[in-house]
A and B are shown apart, each in its own frame.
Chain A
Amino acid sequence: AQSVTQLDSQVPVFEEAPVELRCNYSSSVSVYLFWYVQYPNQGLQLLLKYLSGSTLVESINGFEAEFNKSQTSFHLRKPSVHISDTAEYFCAVSWMNTDKLIFGTGTRLQVFP
């Protein structure tokens, strides 16, 4: 069955430190990959996505994620986090020609001063 795994439910980190949020999925066959972010008391919004082409994708606020087909991973990284990055992050995968988006269980990033 298709599945998405986010092993870390919570990631505490100090401001200006680097962070990596991990995401693995069950099959590398023809996938589209997404990271969504949910700030407190808000809905989800798209952070970045991989559809094709360069395996490294970037967001406007300094996050990046790399599609690794052999490891079926799409880890999210930021070299230096800010307090304002405190949020819950969801990895999501869509398999080509399906209607559904499968979400991971989420990782709560807590940035401390």
Chain B
Amino acid sequence: DVKVTQSSRYLVKRTGEKVFLECVQDMDHENMFWYRQDPGLGLRLIYFSYDVKMKEKGDIPEGYSVSREKKERFSLILESASTNQTSMYLCASPPGTSGRGYEQYFGPGTRLTVT
């Protein structure tokens, strides 16, 4: 079974703090994705990575950065957290590119609250 884990289920941070969200997958996948999920908006892609040290901006990258130093780990960084970044963050990893029909395997999510 593919396993995607996220470092925290719930996180509360203060405005202006630097926040790290960690995601680890155990199936040697090359591709990894970060989404945020908000009511009525569905899932929106923040960043994705198709190899170590490679990253691509998604649809809403502003206010975020990412790091992929090792194949199994993909980190999402909020340089200076703001209240509008309060959301559910989901990490996902497919065994290949979505454009070839591969499904994405999701982690359990991190619910981040910025106060």
Residues of A at under 8 Å CB distance from B?
Answer: 6, 9, 32, 34, 36, 42-46, 49, 51, 90, 94-101, 103-106
Contacts and interface: CB of A to CB of B under 8 A. Distances in A.
Nearest to B38: A105
Given A9-B40, A44-B90, A51 B101 contact: yes
Given A43-B90, A98-B98, A99-B97, A105 B42 contact: yes
Contacts, number: 63
Given A43-B108, A46-B103, A95-B99, A106 B42 contact: yes
Mostly helix, strand, loop or mixed at chain A's interface? loop
Interface of B: 4, 31, 35, 40-45, 48, 50, 56, 58, 90, 92, 97-101, 103-104, 106-109
Given A43-B107, A44-B90, A99 B50 contact: yes
